[in-house]
């Protein structure tokens, strides 16, 4: 529905503009188009102050993206500001430069939106500003094409800027370009939104580059499960993948860890899945397989499991990481306790 509205609105505006301005030259039409371009460009700059991302993606606006070093956001501002300055001039040279910069700004905005909002998403009133900005810029593109056409119809009335005005315009443009380059260098030139915290209310982070969900990292320390049901310690950063009423799954130091309080026997669990195992003291050691398919030596996954009271702790690792996995298993088991969380 939003897409249909978008093209209908732009089509009506384009048809109206073409019927109104295209066919004949008029100084009045030229001036109206120039002022329209000023107003539309200023409107887009105002929209950059409103949120361009929803709250669960950080709620950033275009200004914060640019100040954070986002290359496309900075480029958008540079093009819009220079074109706005040139639209205030009446010389054809400056108006033509502004027209070209407007088209480039439109392309920059489309590229920016593809980067910060990949794929499809639900449109809301909170983050509708960039969509409105796109509509305005497309309308502005029609206006500048008509402005260009008006300038082409009667060149004899063209006002040529003197050298002093050209130098002043060049200096102003250079200052804006240098400022943009400084923001890119100081803030990082990555087009991804590295300065925004993408964590939502559930602790899930959306990766805009890959278009997938990753999980927020926690600092090393105590992991408390539920409302003081049990807790344990980890010496490396970790991310909680899932938890339910009796178990928790997380990743730490590239290892997958599960802690369950369901009281099931390790041997019963392994037998249920038809997995062979060996024992090293109280630790059960086994090789994981997927659908019965054997992996290559470098891709094999192994598991370590040990019981502590009614708890079952397992650590899964790949070839060559057995010692680290044993260390994680030992740390969890030594600190695992039921009841009051040891963090409190």
pLDDT at 193: 42
CA-to-CA distance for 63 and 71, rounded, in angstroms? Answer: 12
Q: Can you tell me the mean pLDDT for 199-227?
A: 56
Residue 239: strand pairing partners: 251
Alpha helix (H) residue ranges in 154-265: 163-187
pLDDT at 187: 59
Q: Can you tell me the mean pLDDT for 255-259?
A: 85
CA-to-CA distance for 42 and 37, rounded, in angstroms? Answer: 8
What value does the mean pLDDT of the chain take? Answer: 75
Q: What is the pLDDT of residues 222-252, one digit of tens each?
A: 887 765 467 888 888 888 877 776 788 888 8
pLDDT at 46: 93
Do residues 190 and 45 touch, judged by C-beta distance below 8 A? no
Q: Can you tell me the mean pLDDT for 184-201?
A: 48
Do residues 105 and 137 touch, judged by C-beta distance below 8 A? yes
CA-to-CA distance for 273 and 287, rounded, in angstroms? Answer: 12
CATH topology for 217-338? Protein Transport Mog1p; Chain A (3.40.1000)
Q: Can you tell me the mean pLDDT for 289-294?
A: 49
**Residue 155 pLDDT greater than 70, yes or no:** no
Give the containing element (helix H, strand E) for 251. Answer: strand 247-252
CA-to-CA distance for 174 and 223, rounded, in angstroms? Answer: 54
Which two structure tokens, joined as six digits, stand for 124? 């809301």
Q: Can you tell me the mean pLDDT for 48-60?
A: 77
Q: What is the pLDDT of residues 75-134, one digit of tens each?
A: 999 999 999 998 888 888 888 888 889 989 889 888 888 887 765 555 666 678 888 888
Q: Can you tell me the mean pLDDT for 137-150?
A: 83
* Residues of each domain in the chain carrying CATH 3.40.1000: 217-338
Residue 258: strand pairing partners: 249, 314
pLDDT at 203: 43
pLDDT band at 206 (very low <50, low <70, confident <90, very high): very low
Q: What is the pLDDT of residues 333-343, one digit of tens each?
A: 888 887 656 54
* CA 140, 90, 177, 39 torsion-angle sign: negative
Locate tokens 């997995």: which residue? 275
């Amino acid at each position: 529905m939003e897409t249909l509205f978008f093209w209908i609105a732009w089509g009506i505006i384009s048809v109206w503009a073409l019927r109104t301005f295209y066919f004949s030259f008029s100084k009045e039409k030229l001036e109206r188009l120039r002022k329209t371009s000023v107003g539309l460009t200023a409107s887009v700059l105002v929209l950059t102050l409103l949120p361009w991302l929803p709250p669960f993606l950080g709620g950033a606006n275009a200004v914060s993206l640019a100040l954070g070093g986002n290359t496309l956001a900075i480029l958008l501002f540079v093009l819009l500001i220079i074109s706005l300055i040139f639209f205030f001039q009446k010389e054809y040279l400056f108006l033509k430069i502004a027209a070209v910069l407007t088209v480039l700004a439109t392309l920059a905005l489309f590229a920016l939106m593809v980067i910060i909002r990949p794929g499809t998403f639900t449109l809301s009133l909170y983050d509708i500003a960039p969509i409105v900005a796109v509509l305005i810029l497309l309308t502005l593109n029609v206006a500048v094409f008509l402005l260009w056409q008006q300038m082409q119809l009667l060149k004899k009335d063209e006002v040529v800027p003197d050298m002093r005005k050209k130098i002043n315009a060049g200096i102003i443009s250079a200052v804006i370009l240098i400022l943009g380059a400084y923001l890119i260098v100081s803030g990082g030139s990555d087009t991804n939104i590295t300065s925004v915290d993408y964590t939502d209310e559930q602790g899930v982070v959306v990766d805009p580059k890959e278009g997938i969900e990753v999980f927020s990292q926690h600092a090393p320390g105590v992991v408390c499960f539920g409302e003081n049901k049990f807790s344990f310690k980890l010496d490396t950063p970790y991310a909680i993948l899932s938890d339910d009423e009796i178990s928790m799954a997380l990743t730490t130091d590239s290892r997958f860890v599960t802690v369950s309080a369901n009281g099931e026997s390790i041997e019963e669990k392994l037998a249920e899945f038809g997995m062979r195992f060996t024992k090293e003291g109280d630790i059960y050691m086994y090789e994981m397989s997927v659908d019965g398919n054997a992996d290559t030596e470098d891709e094999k996954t192994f598991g370590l499991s040990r019981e502590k009271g009614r708890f079952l702790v397992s650590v899964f690792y790949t070839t060559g990481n057995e010692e680290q996995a044993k260390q994680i298993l030992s740390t969890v088991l030594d600190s695992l306790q039921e009841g009051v969380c040891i963090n409190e």
